[in-house]
Amino acid sequence: MRLSNRILLIVSLFALAGASTFGQTPRGASRFVSVYGGFGLDLPATPNLARGVRNDDEPDRGAGMIYAWELGNVVYTALYLDPPDAPTAPTAAAKAGYLKENNASVRATIQKYDGKILAEKPFRLGTNRGTEIVATLGAGRMIVRNLQAGARKFSIQAVIRDLRDETRARKILDSFRLTDGRAVIRQAVIRATPAPLPQTPVVEAPRSDAAAANLRGRVKTVVEESEDLTGAGARQQGRILAAEFFYDARGRQTKEIRYDARGLPERIAVYGFLDGAPVVRFGTVSDAENAPAEKNPDDLKILSVYDLQGRVTETRFYGSGERLKSRTATVYNEKQSVTEYFNEQGELMSKIALTFDTRGNPVETTVQIIKPKPAEYRAAYAYQSFDKNGNWTKRTLSEWRVSDGRPTLEPVTVNYRTFAYFNGPQR
């Protein structure tokens, strides 16, 4: 974990320089929870820094996140890292080896920056073993706690400019607890899910929603996850939730959950029927990672036009008072489609062009942003696996980028899908 420890030590050196490291105060509730990191600390919910960490070099391969807070004369950092090939339940000997390696890396990095180790002692968090290392670094003191929980490595530290703050810093380090991040997500979804819509009387469409989404078999749920391959910026590392789709026994979509780049619920929609028309109702989760969810009960009526093959060629979304909120228009040409998106003023906002393979899965996409700022995005999809019904379960998204003056395809994301099916024939 040498790359990760260098990041931690660089933050520490800036902190010990005496000036403000980040120039702003962290905000939010007094308990931070890293949903995918699976831990919490008594620190502000929104840190000064949240950054993805990805190292592809042996022997320290892994991906995770680093967070940092500056509170007065103390800078706190928390890091977790998942080795890509480690077993989910390593043996006690393997975990001891991981911890030993992590401790050695911290020692070496401290010594490299002319620090001096004052003390080193073991500690426990439940059944998990860890090591605390105390060192001088510059004019201050650093406390590092390394913990091995399963295959995951944690490194929590406090860099103290004024030793009078050490007691308070230790109290915050003592607040570190492992937590069930998925339970946090489930609660956020429950809070933000709007009231269900009536499912009858049904307004029939030429094709079911599942068929329109190119799904095969009697699909009940689809859980889509994504894995970032770039390690860039604040992108959550590891395999995280991207979307969930729910269908009834006739293939009609009843619910949809979308997740943001951090793998946290961003938008929840439920589907049904009101006044003889299909309707969608949204619930929106607030944008702060640890903030409570907010509900948005606005309903949108959906009116669609279909071609002779049952494909949607136009969709209009109406809000209260039959006010047009947005419109899409799609043109099909053999194995291609182009969809245009218009706002409520009728202005063209964007275009998405798709090219499909013989299975009906997209293999190329071009996104044109018209407003507010023109931009273009091109990407390609490659499929690695399918389930017994022919639905893809793993694919890689690659973006066209310019490297050395030449356009090249660079893999950026891997997507995974897990399916649950209804038993028996379609009704």
pLDDT at 294: 47
Residues 6+ apart with CB under 8 A from 77: 8, 11, 12, 66, 67, 68, 69, 155, 156, 157, 159
The predicted model gives 351-369 an average pLDDT of: 96
Q: Judge whether residue 345 has pLDDT over 50.
A: yes
| CA-wise closest residue to 185 among 268, 254, 77 | 268
Average pLDDT of the chain, as a whole number: 86
The predicted model gives 39-50 an average pLDDT of: 91
- From residue 255, alpha-carbon distances to 196, 277, 323, 342 in Å are 9, 17, 24, 24
- SS3 of 218-286: CEEEEEEEEEECCCCCCCCCCEEEEEEEEECCCCCEEEEEEECCCCCEEEEEEEEEECCEEEEEEEECC
Q: Judge whether residue 301 has pLDDT over 80.
A: yes
pLDDT digits (tens, 9 = 90+) for 377-421: 999 999 999 999 999 999 999 998 877 788 889 999 999 999 999
Report residue 52: phi and psi, to 5°. -70, 145
Contact (Cβ atoms closer than 8 angstroms) between residue 96 and residue 129: yes
CATH class of the 2-179 domain in this structure = alpha beta
CATH number 2.60.40 given to 187-421: no
| Helix axes 92-112 and 2-16, enclosed angle (nearest 10) | 40
How would you class 80 by CB atoms within 10 Å of its CB: exposed for 0-12, middle for 13-18, buried for 19 or more? buried
Mean pLDDT: which of 29-33, 96-100, 293-297, 364-368 is highest? 364-368
pLDDT digits (tens, 9 = 90+) for 45-91: 889 888 888 776 655 567 888 999 999 899 999 999 887 765 566 77
Pairing of strands 312-318, 375-386: unpaired
Structure tokens at 81: 């890292």
Q: What is the DSSP string of 123-147?
A: EEETTEEEEEEEEEETTEEEEEEEE
Cα 139 to Cα 18: distance, rounded to the nearest angstrom: 9
How would you class 314 by CB atoms within 10 Å of its CB: exposed for 0-12, middle for 13-18, buried for 19 or more? middle
The predicted model gives 205-221 an average pLDDT of: 96
pLDDT at 6: 53
Contact (Cβ atoms closer than 8 angstroms) between residue 140 and residue 160: yes
| CA-wise closest residue to 142 among 124, 166, 125 | 166
Q: What is the pTM of this model?
A: 0.80
pLDDT at 9: 54
Residue 107 has a CB neighbour count (10 Å cut-off) of 17
Contact (Cβ atoms closer than 8 angstroms) between residue 48 and residue 24: yes
The partner residues of 32 in beta bridges, in order of sequence, read 41
Q: How far is CA 355 from the centre of its chain?
A: 27
Question: Which strand (E) or helix (H) includes residue 4?
Answer: helix 2-16
pLDDT at 23: 53
| CA-wise closest residue to 136 among 163, 117, 164, 158 | 117
Cα 82 to Cα 237: distance, rounded to the nearest angstrom: 9
Q: How far is CA 30 from the centre of its chain?
A: 22
pLDDT at 249: 95
Q: Judge whether residue 18 has pLDDT over 60.
A: no
Q: Judge whether residue 238 has pLDDT over 70.
A: yes
Q: Judge whether residue 92 has pLDDT over 90.
A: no
Report residue 393: phi and psi, to 5°. -120, -10
pLDDT digits (tens, 9 = 90+) for 252-296: 999 999 998 888 898 999 999 998 999 999 986 754 444 444 445
Residues 6+ apart with CB under 8 A from 186: none
Domain boundaries, the chain: 2-179, 187-421
The number of residues in the chain equals: 427
- The percentage of the chain sitting over the pLDDT mark of 70, rounded to a whole number, equals 86
